[in-house]
Amino acid sequence: MSAVSIERAYRNFIKFHTHVTYPETSERRQQINTLEVIKKLDAIGMNHVDVPMIWDGVHLVDEGKVAGKTEIERRVRFTYRMRMWKLTQFVDEVLHLADRDIGTYLDLANCLREVDFDLIKGRTDIDRAIANIAVIATAKRSLAVGIPPEVITYQINWALNEVAHLDVDEIELLECLPDEAQLKPDGKVDHNQMAQDRGISSIRLVDNIDTRGRIASLFCDCFGGKRKESEKKEMQPLSIRRLDVASRFLAEPSMEALLRISRIANEYVAFQPRFEKKMISAPDGDQTRMRMMESYSELPRLAPAAWALKVASPRYFRYRLATKSFMVREKIKRSDKKQFFYAMLDRSKSMQQGERIYKLMAILMNRLRAVGRREAILGYSFFDSVVHEEIMVNDIAGAKDEIRKLHHEFFVGDDTDINLALREGIVRIQKVVGEIEAERPELIIVTDGDHGINVTAKELKGIVLHVFVVEQENEDLMELARKTGGVALQQL
């Protein structure tokens, strides 16, 4: 995101309190103490935000109430006159210097009226107020650099819609993605493919990207740079982390493709992990349960009450014993049987075209989310004319580390050999599956190759195959996946 400079003439507009709410009757003013918000901002590294903007964020969203035209004119005039010397105030009676920015403030009020603040999710009122501050500050600065109010409103609402329903594990993975420049150099951006994916003209797309980039740069300024975790600084609230991701969505349009494909993959039942939780009998178990006896060899494990019954009523005891209707104690332990996925990912040079890298990462991220939720184990390898080293991921920390390593220079391999990748994937699954406790393994292949396939369903030996062909078609590969009962998608 390149920095956006704001003209000196708009400095006061950015700094001064706009008074576009009704602070005298504000319910939120009673709920939220401005000093508490300032302390929270300092703790998470947003201490550079001006206090007037903090007031806006604290008091703006009172049931969406924004002041009318007359009230805004009165308050803007009052704000400027309050900062004037006595002599300047006398001159202002004639020259009306305090009225110079009323039109800009009215535009801001109109812009904010259409922003859907309900999409801002926060755990507490203070967290939501901080998110409001970022949105209001972005709107102010966007107006100051000449972006039309209706465009600002549309783009902010678009970004809020994209991130409003992101789960925590999605945010964690998106946060650790490398910058778009690392995954897609400017010279490699394919605007025609992007326009085709979005169903709009490439000319309109380029203009849209430029505007979004400027808004995103101003958005990012509110956070004081990227989020950093340290012992001295608190973790930013989820509402702000969502907006941080939103600023990247505005600036890096290829991330749209990533999230879109990831969500498409979620819609397929056949692609969901089969995660089984159950308690099993184990001599070394750390828990005990009672169950009906199954054989007479379990007599030593009868409950004490059963032996008391033998003394009290021997005949009834013998009847219960003959019918095996006594309860016995049994040691058990928990067994979490996870789904095992193995992904073969195409790293040939052609994967740099269009948005193919992001679409590949979308499928990878989709499976990494299952790992993060402790529902699956993931192994994967990149391939081109050969299959490269194996990577095993068992937790979310490992997943984030692997994502950070990826960059566009990684995708510079030779031609794609899909048949080799399939056969090597089968071998690697069979080698690993004996060492881990997991559900029936499934193989995933992500490629842009259209080569003929000579691997048969019989060679897969019961392994379910999922196929994702990005921006290309491969009917042979599609048919093979369908025969195994897996997901088969092309032209992603």
Q: What's the pLDDT at 230?
A: 47
Identify which of 219, 244, 243, 50 has the alpha carbon closest to the alpha carbon of residue 141.
219
CB 129 within 8 A of CB 28: yes
DSSP 242-305: HHHHHHHHHH-THHHHHHHHHHHHHT-GGGS---EEEEEE-TT-SEEEEEE--SGGGGGGB-HH
CB 280 within 8 A of CB 332: yes
336: helix, strand or coil? strand
Q: Where are the domains of the chain?
A: 8-252, 269-275+338-489, 277-336
Q: What's the pLDDT at 375?
A: 78
168, two tokens: 């925590």
CB 138 within 8 A of CB 218: yes
DSSP 425-456: HHHHHHHHHTTS-BSSPEEEEEE---------
Identify which of 470, 1, 39 has the alpha carbon closest to the alpha carbon of residue 248.
1
Pairwise CA distance, residues 69 & 81, whole Å: 18
CB 241 within 8 A of CB 171: yes
CB 112 within 8 A of CB 60: yes
- Measured CA to CA in angstroms, residue 16 lies from 49, 52, 156 at distances of 12, 6, 22
467: helix, strand or coil? strand
pLDDT tens, position by position, for the chain (492 residues)?
667 777 666 777 776 665 555 545 555 555 677 788 888 888 887 878 877 777 777 766 555 567 778 877 877 777 777 777 888 888 887 888 878 778 888 888 888 888 888 888 888 888 888 888 888 888 888 988 889 989 999 999 999 998 888 888 888 888 888 888 888 877 778 888 888 877 888 888 888 888 888 888 888 888 765 445 544 545 678 888 888 889 888 888 888 888 888 888 888 877 877 765 556 676 767 778 888 888 888 888 888 888 888 888 888 888 888 888 888 888 776 656 778 889 999 988 888 888 888 888 889 888 888 887 777 888 899 998 899 988 888 777 777 887 888 888 888 877 888 999 999 999 988 888 777 666 678 899 999 988 889 999 889 888 899 999 998 899 999 999 999 988 899 888
Total length of the chain: 492
CATH number of 269-275+338-489: 3.40.50.410
Pairwise CA distance, residues 70 & 59, whole Å: 19
Burial class (CB in 10 A: 0-12, 13-18, 19+), 362: buried
Pairwise CA distance, residues 374 & 336, whole Å: 9
Q: How many other CB atoms are found less than 10 A from the CB of residue 348?
A: 21
113, two tokens: 């009226």
Identify which of 304, 269, 278, 275 has the alpha carbon closest to the alpha carbon of residue 290.
304
